[in-house]
Amino acid sequence: MKRKRITELFPWLIPLRVRQRKLFFYLGMKLDRNHYTAVLSKDLLPIEVFSSSCPMYNRNTGFDMIYQENKVHNLKLAAAAIDHMLIRPGETFSFSLSTRHADRREPYREGLTVIGGELTTAPGGGMCQLSNLLFWVFLHSPLTIVERHGHGSKDFPEPPSDAPMGVDATLAEGWKDLKVRNDTDCTFQIHIAFDRENISGTLCADRPCPLAYSVSNGPVAYYRRQGAIWEEVDVIQTLINRESGQEQSTRTLYRNVCRIGYTLPEGTLIIEQ
């Protein structure tokens, strides 16, 4: 019989445990000798490395649209904390650290999120849409991915995006973060913008990058295991010389595995395991 965690036996300890995790989470960053990004520049750097946008509102969640409105509110608070942020040579960008006090003046609202493997609502819910977008943008640059965690499940179809499957980055303050490090001699800059329906993310630089980056999928497969359906797909990055247009290298970055919590299109091949 599996032993229960102490917070399962004494649920009133959960808030204390969360505060403890956050304390050590940020203390660890103070002591790990990394130089974390903190500078916002009024002016944008001149070179656009990569830009992408996606719809903010997902009308296929099965939840009231108020939670989508709340998500947009949360996204704008977090984006204000990192828009125009510089990632200088030797610096590390941490999503959690950079947005830590984004709700200091105005609180986050209840949005959709996954807690303990269950889809629910919580203040700050929906923030992963911004981390997903940033991760997709970062993959088109020489920035080094230090930490990224994929979503363990997809509970509803995703809105349209130019990103391939499996390109996401979930967050859990105190537990999971999105971090990239600048190991180059270039300075990069994050720019986030909104229109009525979309959020866009752009990575700028102080000089042109000699390489372009293409990110694609290998074959996608669906498996049924113990009554649940799982999606598996490789995420592949190709480096291309901008001057010649020649491919320089291709590598598989990771295999993304997640549980599918909605009905797949009719005719989708599901392999029984």
- Report pLDDT for 117: 74
- Report pLDDT for 127: 95
Burial of 107 (0-12, 13-18, 19+ CB in 10 A): exposed
- Report pLDDT for 56: 95
Q: Which two tokens mark 144?
A: 């080094």
What is the pTM assigned to this prediction?
Answer: 0.93
- Report pLDDT for 3: 66
Q: Which helix (H) or strand (E) element contains residue 271?
A: strand 270-272
User: Residue 267 has what DSSP assignment?
Assistant: T
CA distance 100 to 63: 27
Percent composition of the chain: helix, strand, coil (DSSP 3-state, to 5): 20, 35, 40
pLDDT tens for each residue of 104-146: 999 999 999 887 778 888 899 999 999 999 999 999 999 999 9
Q: Which two tokens mark 50?
A: 């990569």
CA distance 74 to 30: 26
How many percent of the chain have pLDDT more than 70?
95
- Report pLDDT for 12: 55
Please provide residue 37's backbone torsions phi and psi, each rounded to the nearest 5 degrees: -65, 140
Residues of the chain with pLDDT under 70: 1-14
On the CB side of 10, how many CA atoms lie within 13 Å of its CA?
5
β pairing state of 221-225 and 270-272? parallel
Computed on alpha carbons and rounded to an integer, the radius of gyration of the chain in Å comes to: 19
pLDDT tens for each residue of 201-217: 999 999 999 999 999 99
CB 186 within 8 A of CB 199: no
* Alpha-carbon dihedral angle through residues 155, 268, 222, 232, given to the nearest 10 degrees: -80
- Report pLDDT for 226: 87
Q: Which residues pair with 201 in a beta bridge?
A: 52, 192
- Report pLDDT for 2: 58
- Within a 10 A sphere around the Cβ of 30, how many other Cβ atoms? 10
- Report pLDDT for 8: 57
3-state secondary structure 151-215: CCEECCCCCCCCCCCCCCCCCECCCECCEEECCCCCCEEEEEEECCCEEEEEEEECCCCCEEEEE
